[in-house]
């Protein structure tokens, strides 16, 4: 497993998200396979949470979607920072 993960187009993955991605080879494989824009949107969606519990829930949602083979966040307008 890699010690570093790829980043988004604008956003850098925060430490908590990096730890989760690196904790599972399956999740890391998907993370590295999605486009930089898709990574950027996941990072922005997760870090835009105002409460810590929302951020943690979003990370759990990402893990669950990756495990189900889904690669993009759903029901979100997208990163306004592109």
Indicate whether 10 pLDDT > 60. yes
Domain ranges within the chain, ordered by starting residue? 15-67
Average pLDDT over residues 63-81: 81
Q: Does the CA dihedral 22-26-27-30 come out positive or negative?
A: positive
Tell me the pLDDT tens digit for each residue of 14-55.
999 999 999 999 999 999 999 998 999 999 999 999 999 999
Query: CB pairs under 8 A, 24+ apart, for 47-50?
Result: 47/11, 47/14, 47/17
What is the pLDDT at residue 71?
87
Indicate whether 68 pLDDT > 70. yes
């Amino acid at each position: 497993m890699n010690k570093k993960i790829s980043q988004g187009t604008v956003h850098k993955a925060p430490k908590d998200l990096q730890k989760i991605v690196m904790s599972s080879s399956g999740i890391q494989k998907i993370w590295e396979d999605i486009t930089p824009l898709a990574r950027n949107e996941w990072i922005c969606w997760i870090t835009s949470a105002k409460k810590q519990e929302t951020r943690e829930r979003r990370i759990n949602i990402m893990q669950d979607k990756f495990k189900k083979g889904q690669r993009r966040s759903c029901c979100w307008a997208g990163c306004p920072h592109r």
